[in-house]
Structure 1
């Protein structure tokens, strides 16, 4: 059965996506187990080996901070042999897919909530961390309501989130908007008029970096489609219970996205650059707008001048005609957490618990927030520690509703078809044909 589950996982996991001081204190491990200590005879403690995979490979403030925490843990635990592997984000899930198929998961690894967590649980590859959370009630109770939902399967919690990721923030350049005497779009017609204005003046309206395919899905379609269909319809379509992706409302959502492409909203070659290059393009004033996630904030803070950051502003995507969704909303998910392999036990597990707490405990949550990354943990923001743009997004998040992200809810195979389908759509593919491919993939994945 386990072998069958692992094979199923390998078949369904997709290549798609969706991004200081150490923590104090120690954490108890599994009952009856504890990390080895030096004995009275003076013998050194037994070496404990742990492997840790992460995707914090960039030079943004959050990535640097997380790598610092890992190195501090190594320094503070000389009896622990910690094998750390950093894998670039765009290839990270592909690597997890490979090791999952072979049942060779690392001991600890950065894990996304939602469908990835579900598939790893179904494959019998990871274990819950309820015991760790229950041993630290102040930490557990410090998370915002709903923070554990997408890491919870059958009442068991498999990770603690280390971030909060809105995926569809509309960034705009205030200087450019002032130059052409225009305002942020409130309606779809407003947005299309902005595209026309900027195109007439030889300026890219919206920067897009869709090389890894997930960007158009996560950052544009997830919010845009919710505007059209409403959240309830999407969740029904995911379960294939009362809604299908071939329904007229979803085809309309695809049509709106294609309308942007046909109007020249995006620069040429948008499928050949990644989201980091897209962010650089916007930061350099080469586009008037950018639709991106909260993960852009640490990158922008690390690589953009204060003057340029002060010139950026944010809002949500505009409403659409006769839309069923709430226009005052942002698609988003709680961020990644640390997953724990099913194979880790005993003293190794006790040490793994310490490392999870070091990377996602209260001190780490505060450090992550101060690196310009939103968190789903209750931490007061010191605005002097972050960029002006981050403060604006932080305030925006307090005024909007959070809606689902497509690849956080669809099956991996379904999300993969959406990602590839949107690349095709923006190159001229028919919305109806792409909707059918998505419907077929999701129906097959859920067995309907």
Structure 2
């Protein structure tokens, strides 16, 4: 293992220890009853076990840039079908925002969710578990011997019970085109003033500084940048206080963050057509060299280094620059997106669930996730990272140099607050509201959500 690889691994482990905190995977939960204690033996030969049955598996890997991730899932599905006599898994691919905000939400309300489905940690997991829709996994993880194998399960843990397993980890920050930066004499910024200087040089050189597509249905894209902005100014504790009332969206740090988003728009540092583009289009404007920067999650590495990319050899990464606030040095990162399982599964479906967890959450797949999809593994134990590309190594270095990490804001607030920020940020991008109005609108929704929670 060469020096860079060692540094990458060490960098990753440094962040993992920060995020792991109390280590939810070590929690002792209540038993999941007779279901979780059933044997995982799927080799029975009686007639009932051999009868065909179907299990729907909802996933979100539908874009061209997710082909490698889908391939890993498909291989795990084949292995699971081979393990369980009569099983046929039907893959149901749905766009991530549609799954989370529309389809799964409606299914959970009706109680007809699929046996296996893409699940977001935090508020989604908490709400669905309290409604009795999610299958507790503690006993299953123990049965399979992987109860201590995950870096961090806090976002999928409610009252000591684990209700979901993260597919991979992420961090968010700026990807940048080294060639375009060099072309205009811009340096990698470590502070807000340096970022503004770089953007001004890029704009003067006829280059769009920041690529972004946050049009209809994709308001969450601008939320990533806004989230890092208000945490940098107010500290991680700011967003942790929204749902408890300890902090408000009208607090100075949030209003200032909204003002800086407005500043980026007014100076055309963000693509002027931001509201006319979908997320994949904005992302493509970066990896085809039409813009110099992209604020995105580490999941974007696969697209940036993929076949369609013209910048695969020129792309770098840096964390959100310091702004002189309480959150300087922190980075948005965690393990928020993965798979959940229906509490309504029958005996044979439970066999399929156990076999899927065994086959999908394996060391082999974790290494494939890192090397083939350039995403951060969710499980401990990878010692060989040969084959990982240089960009994902740079991201690991950014993680390792960070003071700490904070989760995405929508894992600590109610779902309606997440949707409200998407709407208000789109309106801010379009000049329909002022930063102060956006903050007031947000606090009104937050107050209503908090009142409904009490």
When normalised by structure 1's length, the TM-score is 0.86
Q: Partners in 1 of 2:274 and 2:436 — Cα distance?
A: 23
Provide the residue aligned with 1:272 in structure 2.
Answer: 276
Question: Deviation of residue 405 (structure 1)?
Answer: 1.1
Equivalent residues in 2 for 1:434-445 (5 A)? 434-445=438-449
Q: Partners in 1 of 2:42 and 2:390 — Cα distance?
A: 47
Q: Partners in 2 of 1:354 and 1:380 — Cα distance?
A: 22
The answer as to whether partners of 1:222 and 1:404 remain within 8 angstroms in 2 is no
Kindly tell me: are residues 173 and 44 of structure 1, through their superposed partners in 2, closer, same or farther at Cα, counting changes over 3 Å? Answer: closer
What's the CA shift string for 1:283-326, capped at 9, x where partnerless? 12111111110110122233355x732211111111114x121x
Q: Partners in 2 of 1:39 and 1:369 — Cα distance?
A: 38
Question: Deviation of residue 436 (structure 1)?
Answer: 1.1
Kindly tell me: are residues 256 and 44 of structure 1, through their superposed partners in 2, closer, same or farther at Cα, counting changes over 3 Å? Answer: closer
Q: Partners in 1 of 2:311 and 2:441 — Cα distance?
A: 42
Equivalent residues in 2 for 1:94-105 (5 A)? 94-105=102-113
Equivalent residues in 2 for 1:347-426 (5 A)? 347-371=348-372, 372-380=374-382, 382-400=384-402, 401-426=404-429
Kindly tell me: are residues 435 and 44 of structure 1, through their superposed partners in 2, closer, same or farther at Cα, counting changes over 3 Å? Answer: closer
Which SS does the other structure have where 1:232 is aligned? helix
Kindly tell me: are residues 71 and 86 of structure 1, through their superposed partners in 2, closer, same or farther at Cα, counting changes over 3 Å? Answer: farther
The answer as to whether partners of 1:30 and 1:350 remain within 8 angstroms in 2 is no
What's the CA shift string for 1:229-256, capped at 9, x where partnerless? 111122112321x221111221111111
Pair 1:199-2:190 in alignment: no
What's the CA shift string for 1:4-31, capped at 9, x where partnerless? xxxxxxxxxxxxxxxxxxxxxxxx9732
What's the CA shift string for 1:393-422, capped at 9, x where partnerless? 123222222113122221100010001110
Which SS does the other structure have where 2:262 is aligned? helix
Q: What residue ranges of structure 1 are gaps of 5+ in the alignment?
A: 1-27
1:215 to 200, 218, 221: 221
When normalised by structure 2's length, the TM-score is 0.85
Provide the residue aligned with 1:55 in structure 2.
Answer: 60
Kindly tell me: are residues 134 and 88 of structure 1, through their superposed partners in 2, closer, same or farther at Cα, counting changes over 3 Å? Answer: same
Q: Partners in 1 of 2:219 and 2:49 — Cα distance?
A: 50
The answer as to whether partners of 1:35 and 1:348 remain within 8 angstroms in 2 is no
The answer as to whether partners of 1:370 and 1:382 remain within 8 angstroms in 2 is no
Question: Deviation of residue 140 (structure 1)?
Answer: 2.5
Which SS does the other structure have where 2:331 is aligned? strand
1:252 to 256, 278, 282: 256
Which SS does the other structure have where 1:209 is aligned? coil
Provide the residue aligned with 2:73 in structure 1.
Answer: 66
Question: Deviation of residue 349 (structure 1)?
Answer: 1.1
Equivalent residues in 2 for 1:136-285 (5 A)? 136-137=144-145, 139-144=146-151, 147-166=152-171, 168-211=172-215, 212-218=218-224, 220-240=225-245, 242-285=246-289
The answer as to whether partners of 1:35 and 1:351 remain within 8 angstroms in 2 is no
Q: Partners in 2 of 1:345 and 1:250 — Cα distance?
A: 47
Q: Which moved more, 1:249-258 or 1:413-422?
A: 249-258
Q: Partners in 2 of 1:335 and 1:368 — Cα distance?
A: 16
Q: Which moved more, 1:406-415 or 1:274-283?
A: 274-283
Pair 1:316-2:319 in alignment: yes
Q: What residue ranges of structure 2 are gaps of 5+ in the alignment?
A: 1-33
Kindly tell me: are residues 118 and 141 of structure 1, through their superposed partners in 2, closer, same or farther at Cα, counting changes over 3 Å? Answer: same
Aligned length: 411
Q: Partners in 2 of 1:76 and 1:342 — Cα distance?
A: 22
Q: Partners in 2 of 1:380 and 1:39 — Cα distance?
A: 37
What's the CA shift string for 1:247-274, capped at 9, x where partnerless? 1221111111111111111112112222
Question: Deviation of residue 116 (structure 1)?
Answer: 1.0
Question: Deviation of residue 35 (structure 1)?
Answer: 5.7
What's the CA shift string for 1:195-229, capped at 9, x where partnerless? 221111211011011121001102x0111111111
Which SS does the other structure have where 1:302 is aligned? coil
Q: Partners in 2 of 1:329 and 1:32 — Cα distance?
A: 43
Kindly tell me: are residues 224 and 381 of structure 1, through their superposed partners in 2, closer, same or farther at Cα, counting changes over 3 Å? Answer: farther
Kindly tell me: are residues 38 and 324 of structure 1, through their superposed partners in 2, closer, same or farther at Cα, counting changes over 3 Å? Answer: closer
The answer as to whether partners of 2:156 and 2:163 remain within 8 angstroms in 1 is yes
Which SS does the other structure have where 1:243 is aligned? coil
The answer as to whether partners of 1:246 and 1:439 remain within 8 angstroms in 2 is yes
Q: Partners in 1 of 2:414 and 2:226 — Cα distance?
A: 16
1:299 to 298, 303, 319: 303
Which SS does the other structure have where 2:351 is aligned? helix
Q: Partners in 1 of 2:208 and 2:144 — Cα distance?
A: 50
